[in-house]
Amino acid sequence: MQDGILKAISADGKVRAVIATTTQVVETARLKHGLSFTATAALGRALTAGLLLARIVLRDGQVTLKFQGNGPLGKVFVDASPKGTVRGFVENPAVELPLNSLGNFDVGKAIGTTGYLHVNVDQGYGRPYSSTVELASGEVGEDVNRYLVTSDQAGSIVVVGTHMSKSGVEAAGGLIVQLLPDHTEETICQIENNITTFGTFTFLMRRGMSLENILKRVLSGFEIRALTEVEPVSFHCKCSSERFAEALKILPASDLISMAEEDGQAEGRCHFCNEFYYVGKDRLLDLARK
């Protein structure tokens, strides 16, 4: 199944949902950053959540998620856009932990149960706005759900997951279901029952179910209307050699000359995609002159 994202609403106007598959996105992140199994599970969930959230809160711009917990992974940072692009990193990518009591990757312990989720929403015009909520569990889905409930004052369900084997990421994806003002208590009970019985998101993916069919399974009992076609998503970073050279312009000319004469070049690495960039001696001296 190709990575993609789909937005839908129920015919009765009681719930809306956004659902995504992100297997290739997460595998790309794993390879770029050399992530451990635990780190892949954590960043994979965060990347998926970022894409889902961007599609809910934005028409343009970007949304940034920063998980700062007391776990050994350190900071988990994700930057996503409603155009289906996302990038991210973890501070300590080699951290590996034993499976938890349920036999799953212990993302909660890796990120930490004490700390904060910082969300920055930049709509591409005006001033961005930021929100901070305490971590609910460090499991990512519950933490993003707490943010949505706090910011929108409305009920929601967030499910994100990553399934791996020794060869890499086999399935990753998730969904956000939001309750709209016309919902009833029966609406809540129906969705909770569906979530409880449908199995894990990645299990349904590995069975070959399409996004549309997974959504119908999760929202069984509701007539669903797609608001968009399935649109592609990808791991995409905005960095480039030219951006790195532009960033060097903030340094004093004396520092640029020193790097040129002593090192013969300037070297930089993008945290988001782990790409290395180099600016040679002649370019450094040219920047110093300018």
- Within a 10 A sphere around the Cβ of 234, how many other Cβ atoms? 15
232 contacts 51 by C-beta, under 8 angstroms: no
Tell which residue, 135, 121, 114, 111, has the closest CA to residue 50: 121
User: At 27, is the pLDDT very low, low, confident or very high (cuts 50, 70, 90)?
Assistant: very high
Is the pLDDT reported for residue 274 higher than 80?
Answer: yes
Q: Which of 37, 105, 43 is nearest to 74 (CA)?
A: 43
Query: Do 278 and 269 form a contact (C-beta atoms < 8 A)?
Result: no
More confident residue, 272 or 127: 272
pLDDT at 55 over 90: yes
Regarding predicted confidence, which is higher, 45 or 207? 45
CA dihedral (150, 13, 228, 42) positive or negative: positive
* Mean pLDDT of all residues belonging to the chain: 91
pLDDT band for 121, please (50, 70, 90 cuts): very high
Do 63 and 119 form a contact (C-beta atoms < 8 A)? yes
In DSSP terms, 265 is beta-bridged to: 280
* pLDDT at 8 (0 to 100): 93
* Per-residue burial over 250-285, b = 16 or more CB atoms within 10 Å of its CB, e = otherwise: ebeeeebbebbeeeeebebebbbbbeebebeeebbb
Structure tokens at 89: 């990193």
112 confidence band (pLDDT: 50, 70, 90): very high
Q: What is the largest CA-CA distance in the chain?
A: 72
Mean pLDDT of 116-121: 96
Average pLDDT score over residue span 108-123? 96
What's the first-to-final CA gap in the chain, in angstroms?
50
Q: Are 194 and 220 in contact (CB under 8 A)?
A: yes
Tokens 């770029």, located at residue: 32
